Structure 1
Amino acid sequence: MPAERPDAERWPIAAAMLPFLATTTSGTPVQDAGDEVWDAALAEVADAGFTEVDLTDSWVRPGDLSPQRLEALGRAVKGAGLHAEAISAIRRSVIDPESGDENLAYSHRTIDAAAALGASMVSVGLHRPLLPAQQQALWFWSVDGPHDRDDADTWRLAVTRLRELGEHAKSVGVGLTLEMYEDTLLGTADSAVRLVQDIGGGVGLNPDLGNMYRLPRVVEPFLEALAKCLPYTNYWHVKNYYRLEGVDSSSFLSAPAPMDSGSMNYRRAVKMALDAGFTGAFCVEHYGGDGLSVMARNRDYIRGLLRFDTSSRASREVL
């Protein structure tokens, strides 16, 4: 975690590329499309008022680009007036029983790509590709997905491989953060904290607790889980949901919401994070509808919270 707290107005708040499709209207993978396709998407992000972007690899996979194409991506980012704050590698678990070895190699390439782009952080997780039933659902989280095995060998493999990635990231001047996700070894606050403690070496947590809060089941209380994670947090995917529960905890409904109006109390959460010394970047996410506009609203909401915290701290110091 950086030692010095950024100014509220310059605190990095990155837009995730989740709202942008991986294929063009003609069916061409964005990965292989012309530079003008990248330019158009990134210009849209900049037009929404962002200065930082998280190159979520559901849009483009920087780790799979040739050196020439990676340079072109860097030019596109800079040409839009953006900074590549991070790369989030999604559903590339290094302990996936089928593709763990391949995902480990991909994660290493992603770290090198982040360094080449001047990004500060790479976010990885242990979640796996969506199952067919999840892909067919309106909201994929409403259908149960893959579960990690909870045994000593699986834990040891996760620690070994994530430590390897952490050492690589550190050697090229990039941070590594672990995204929390349900039914993985990063699926609860206690398990996630234990995992980063076992890994060591400065690998941190991305407490994307919205991934769990939206589930149609009993979940950890948001702020209680966050409090456990904050001492290890170095990057933060933030999003919110409306959540309804039956009085007997037998029924649950959730839907995406702007950060300021959903059921998760981010005013309190951001204050807790600042009090705990968090100085990392935020990455705003949203599913459904006009995701980019909601993310821009979320960015402004966070900026206001940071601005108030800065002024209130100054007032307390004067008093």
Structure 2
Amino acid sequence: MTVSLTADDWPIAASMLSFGSAPRSGDPAERGRWRDDLQEVADAGFTEIDLTDSWLPFGDLTDEQTRLLRETIDEAGVSAVSLSAIRRSVIDEEHGDDHLAFAHRTLDRAAELGVGVVSFGLHRALTDEQRKQLWFWTVAGHRDRDADEVRSLAASRFRELGRHAAEVGVLLSLELYEHTLLGSAASAVRLVEEIDLDVVGLNPDIGNLIRLHEPVEHWRDIVEATMPYANFWHVKNYSRDEDAVAGWFSAVPSYLENGLIDYRSSVKIALASGFQGVICTEHYGGDGLSMSAANRDYLRTRVLPRRPVEVGRSRVRQHYPEGRNR
């Protein structure tokens, strides 16, 4: 199969992660903040954005707020091609039901905003101890129990969300994240196979796994195992050093081209696996938007194919409905 996307038109979205939390009432003053943030992304050369819900809680927006947001996005001249909903695990022992309801509302809002793919995960809110650190991943947070009843609940709830996603015409993607049921390549693949819907795939955010200050899977093993199921992709990188004998590990954010993960090789593996989805650039620390723009340029000028190439066959749907997330 020949992929029609090339370096020139591959959708590469800027994450809104670096903009913090924006007000959501939609009154003129607060809507100005939306406009300023989106214009800043456009000025950095992005034509696509990822609506990260740490910026706005999309599942809690009213009809009017949603309408105003879509107008503001259009005015900024960017396209909302993806939405990332984070830190609201649907298997949370205390808040899981509420998070599931929020996820359903998020899918509806995503469809209304013209988004083609929505990413969910099983990661929880940061603990107080994690918030005290320079880099939150240096302190362990919540760990999912890998028990049959927990895995069954996760598969059931994501299957429910997947069916809803199909009804409203979006893809659903599950983000790899440390110490959850999506915290290793094998566990993530097992979960998406248990869900068994072609509109539900993986978001192989490899950076979330290799940044841990502990032994980690090799990045290539993660890429090769998860890419056949990928329908969306958060990309970021970390410089990592370790002395396994002494039990010493360190990781800090870096440019895509400088870190541990070889994204040139990763993209080749992705293409061989049939990946044709949205790529979202993320970064923690410093000028996250400029880092994301530099990473976008690296992908466009040195990594993504310059002309249509033969790709493999994906295990999950890549575009739904046709062309929506492109």
TM-score (norm 1): 0.93
Residues in 2 aligned to 1:62 and 1:228: alpha-carbon distance in whole angstroms:
31
Residue 59 of structure 2: aligned partner: 63
Q: CA deviation at 1:209?
A: 1.0
Letter matched to residue 183 of structure 1: H
Residues in 2 aligned to 1:109 and 1:312: alpha-carbon distance in whole angstroms:
37
Is the aligned partner of 1:303 residue 2:300?
A: yes
Structure 2 gaps of 5+ residues are 311-326
Letter matched to residue 45 of structure 1: V
Q: Secondary structure at the match of 2:119?
A: strand
**Is the contact made by 1:53 and 1:84 (CA closer than 8 Å) also made in structure 2?**
yes
- CA deviations on 1:245-282 (whole Å, 9 max, x unpaired) are 01515101110001011121111111111122210010
- Alpha carbons of structure 1 residues 4 and 112: separation in structure 2 relative to 1, 3 Å: farther
Residues in 2 aligned to 1:78 and 1:7: alpha-carbon distance in whole angstroms:
24
2:79 to 70, 80, 83: 83
Letter matched to residue 227 of structure 2: L
Letter matched to residue 88 of structure 1: S
Superposition CA RMSD, Å: 1.6
Is the aligned partner of 1:218 residue 2:215?
A: yes
Q: CA deviation at 1:31?
A: 2.4
Residue 31 of structure 1: aligned partner: 24
Letter matched to residue 260 of structure 2: S
Q: CA deviation at 1:6?
A: 1.7
Q: CA deviation at 1:304?
A: 1.9
Residue 170 of structure 1: aligned partner: 166
Letter matched to residue 176 of structure 1: L
TM-score (norm 2): 0.91
Aligned residues: 306
Residues in 2 aligned to 1:90 and 1:11: alpha-carbon distance in whole angstroms:
24
- In the TM superposition, what are the counterparts of 1:12-51 in structure 2 within 5 Å? 12-22=11-21, 30-32=23-25, 34-51=30-47
Is the aligned partner of 1:229 residue 2:229?
A: no
1:261 to 249, 258, 279: 258
- CA deviations on 1:111-161 (whole Å, 9 max, x unpaired) are 000000000010000000000000110000000000111111111100100
2:104 to 85, 93, 108: 108
**Consecutive aligned runs of 4 or more in structure 1 exceeding 6 Å deviation:** none
Alignment identity in percent? 50
Residues in 2 aligned to 1:165 and 1:183: alpha-carbon distance in whole angstroms:
22
**Is the contact made by 1:218 and 1:249 (CA closer than 8 Å) also made in structure 2?**
no
- Alpha carbons of structure 1 residues 296 and 227: separation in structure 2 relative to 1, 3 Å: same
**Is the contact made by 2:3 and 2:309 (CA closer than 8 Å) also made in structure 1?**
no
Q: CA deviation at 1:101?
A: 0.3
Residues in 1 aligned to 2:221 and 2:205: alpha-carbon distance in whole angstroms:
14
Residues in 1 aligned to 2:33 and 2:58: alpha-carbon distance in whole angstroms:
15
Mean Cα displacement is larger for which, 264-273 or 292-301? 264-273
Residues in 2 aligned to 1:160 and 1:180: alpha-carbon distance in whole angstroms:
18
Residues in 1 aligned to 2:189 and 2:235: alpha-carbon distance in whole angstroms:
18
- In the TM superposition, what are the counterparts of 1:131-150 in structure 2 within 5 Å? 131-150=127-146
**Is the contact made by 2:142 and 2:179 (CA closer than 8 Å) also made in structure 1?**
yes
Letter matched to residue 5 of structure 2: P
Letter matched to residue 68 of structure 1: E
**Is the contact made by 1:270 and 1:305 (CA closer than 8 Å) also made in structure 2?**
no
Letter matched to residue 209 of structure 2: M
**Is the contact made by 2:219 and 2:261 (CA closer than 8 Å) also made in structure 1?**
yes
Letter matched to residue 136 of structure 1: K
Q: CA deviation at 1:4?
A: 4.8
1:276 to 264, 267, 273: 273
Structure 1 gaps of 5+ residues are 24-29, 315-319
Q: Secondary structure at the match of 2:33?
A: helix
Residue 206 of structure 1: aligned partner: 203
- Alpha carbons of structure 1 residues 95 and 247: separation in structure 2 relative to 1, 3 Å: closer
Q: CA deviation at 1:7?
A: 3.1
Q: CA deviation at 1:3?
A: 8.8
Letter matched to residue 113 of structure 1: R
Greater relative CO, 1 or 2 (CA 8 Å, sep 6+): 2
**Is the contact made by 1:31 and 1:59 (CA closer than 8 Å) also made in structure 2?**
no
